[in-house]
Amino acid sequence: MQLTIFGSGYVGLVTGACMAEVGNHVVCVDIDAEKTRRLNAGEIPIFEPGLEDYVVRNMEAGRLEFTTDIAKGVDHGLFQFIAVGTPPDEDGSADLKHVLAVARSIGEHMNGYRIIVDKSTVPVGTADKVRETVRAALNERGAELEFDVVSNPEFLKEGAAISDFMKPDRIIVGTDNPRTGELLQALYEPFNRNHERVISMDIRSAELTKYAANAMLATKISFMNEVANIAERVGADIEKVRIGIGSDPRIGYQFIYPGAGYGGSCFPKDVRALARAAHAVNYDAQLLDSVEAVNNRQKLRLFEKISARYDGDLAGKCFALWGLAFKPKTDDMREASSRNLMEALWAAGASVRAYDPEAMEETQRIYGDRKDLQLCDTAQEALEGADALAILTEWQEFRSPNFDMIRDTLSDAVIFDGRNLYDPDLLSMHNITYYAIGRSNEAAATPGAYNRRKTDRVVNS
């Protein structure tokens, strides 16, 4: 089949590459000329495991191409996928200006029947707005052409997007036209061979499904972080609690890991957008507001522990930071907890030596050159000259480090772990003070503890 995808960002690029991989002819349209040039040269602007191979292979096979020519894109595909960004507006609601701009362009250039597919994460009612926009553009031309609008939200995890697309858990199709549903079923047949994954429903339900899914996952994370903060205060270990409740099949083990808060391009934006959508229809979405509030507070939890350790006196101190991306296997730093921690440390007069396997260029792009930020080539280099270590991303290479090397390199043998990677007893054996999220050794993290330990060392010497 012939597909056009508007937007060559994360969703559009993965969708285009995977659709081409199964034999479709895909044209990706983007108004960013430089991005398009780089893609045509085989340069992938984002890090996603396996994506570069898919893009290059299908470009060489002639099944995937990139262009800035809108008219060419509209003329090419029966299916017109809208996969542009929906950034949060000033009030947190989704900004649809890019989606509606694409819709208008399709209406201005289409010359036959088209199926317009909303792939972007959009609020309930967006399909109606897209339909109205296309119809208005056609009316201005005096053209009477048939088209359908479909909601087909993406469910891609950064770091596993290729696998998620090629072997999906579900394929949501929202349509009000049975014929259109059959065409989408045929389009997705290569991804649907093992068992039926297409779930058809009305358009508004499909639009809400994506927001509800992300909000549910974000709720689980915020709930566990809330319980973790309680665990610290009552002397319990949240990791044992997590195993205990995860064994209940009604709860399960996924997305119940406590930590330094969620980030990325989806959860924060979608929780806010769903809450604002609820407010717009005069519903007070108290749970959604609380999920966001808990997450915002949790992102500063590690800084609070650091500040308490040093009695609030961080001026002149240097902290090693392992992990900058909001999660492993990506270079995405949108709303990453690392940013909250670094900015809080800088505001307190501290400096940072940071390392991440993939997000170094993105960090440089965001913050530029700063005297209080040193980007290091290795995790070990980040430790050199640092007082203590903070961990914000659970990359595999951080899971089993040389603890003796860490202890001997840091001037103060302390680890602040925002992802609960280590066993507190193990670090105690290596004479490393360990602060995690919701672990039972948190009684040590009280104001004055650092100075008392310094005094103890002097007295004992």
| Catalytic positions, written as ranges | 266
Give the torsion through C-alpha atoms of 443, 449, 454, 457, to 10 deg.
-30
Residue with tokens 């980040």: 382
Distance of alpha carbon 97 from alpha carbon 260, whole angstroms: 33
Q: What is the largest CA-CA distance in the chain?
A: 91
Output the 3-class SS for 330-377. CCCCCCCHHHHHHHHHHHCCCEEEEECCCCHHHHHHHHCCCCCEEECC
Q: Give the residue among 344, 339, 320 at the shortest CA–CA distance from 415.
A: 320
Distance of alpha carbon 164 from alpha carbon 161, whole angstroms: 5
Distance of alpha carbon 407 from alpha carbon 413, whole angstroms: 5
**Cβ(395)–Cβ(356) below 8 Å:** yes
Residue with tokens 């389009």: 187
Distance of alpha carbon 399 from alpha carbon 347, whole angstroms: 29
Q: Give the residue among 105, 45, 44, 55 at the shortest CA–CA distance from 80.
A: 105
Residue with tokens 């053209």: 143
Distance of alpha carbon 222 from alpha carbon 216, whole angstroms: 10
Radius of gyration, alpha carbons of the chain:
25
Distance of alpha carbon 415 from alpha carbon 403, whole angstroms: 10
101 three-class SS: helix
Distance of alpha carbon 333 from alpha carbon 54, whole angstroms: 24
Distance of alpha carbon 409 from alpha carbon 353, whole angstroms: 13
Give the tokens for residue 325: 């991306």
**Cβ(103)–Cβ(134) below 8 Å:** yes
Residue with tokens 């507190």: 424
Give the torsion through C-alpha atoms of 181, 29, 31, 173, to 10 deg.
20
Q: How far is CA 182 from CA 16, 25, 203, in A?
A: 21, 19, 15
Pairing of strands 171-174, 79-82: unpaired
